[in-house]
Amino acid sequence: ILLGAVGLGPFNWIGNPELVLGAVIFALIWQFSGYAMVVFLAGLQSIPDDQFEAAKVDGASIFKTYWRVIIPQLKSSSVSAAVILMIFALKAFTFLFSMFGQYRVPKATDILATLMVREAFKLQNWAYAAAIATILLLMALAVIAPYLHYQHKQGSL
């Protein structure tokens, strides 16, 4: 209704092959932005007030306070959020499956998981689907292994 009021008219966001990828990306960002906000809020609340006061006493501007105090202390929150969101991105299959239904995911929005399911269960190409599953596993390990190594070096594990 609001888009029609400004002359943009109704769009078939998930029916138009040119718009469907943008619509899915927007919906996924909307879905997972709350998680990232919670992680960063927890990180911000863990910064001691003494550091803000020390920066103010030293005459640091707001920009320098962010650059020298806040952002460096959010490093672990940023790494954690990035790793979890990458894993969520690899698992976007459930989102696409529930949005479009069984085997009807448009090719414009194909990710490895939907391609794997289509190859295995619709086309009965089991070997190709197993190869895609192996690639997905290796991608997940490539994301999580450096994170676990980083956490082990920090003594968090």
In the predicted structure, residue 73 carries a pLDDT above the cut 90: yes
Burial 92-109 (b: 16+ CB within 10 A, else e): bbebbbebbeeeebbeeb
**What's residue 1's pLDDT?**
63
pTM above 0.85, yes or no: no
- pLDDT-derived band at 87, boundaries 50, 70, 90: confident
What structural domains does the chain harbor? 20-154 (1.10.3720.10)
Highest mean pLDDT: which range of 6-15, 78-87, 124-133:
124-133
pLDDT at 151: 83
Classify residue 146 by its DSSP letter. H
User: What is the model's pLDDT at position 133?
Assistant: 94
* pLDDT one-digit tens code per residue, 99-133: 887 767 888 888 888 889 889 988 999 999 999 99
Whole-number Å distance between alpha carbons of 123 and 84: 32
**Phi, psi of 59, deg, nearest 5:** 85, 25
Residue 90 has pLDDT above 80, yes or no: no
d(CA 99, CA 14): 9
What are the C-alpha distances in Å from 144 to residues 28, 79, 151? Answer: 21, 11, 10
Q: Check residues 147 and 63 and name the one with the higher pLDDT.
A: 63
CA–CA gap between residue 5 and residue 20 (Å, rounded): 22
Q: For the residues 24-29, what does the mean pLDDT come to? A: 89
The SS3 assignment for 71 reads helix
**35 pLDDT exceeds 90?**
yes
For residue 154, give the nearest of 86, 75, 88 by alpha carbon. 75
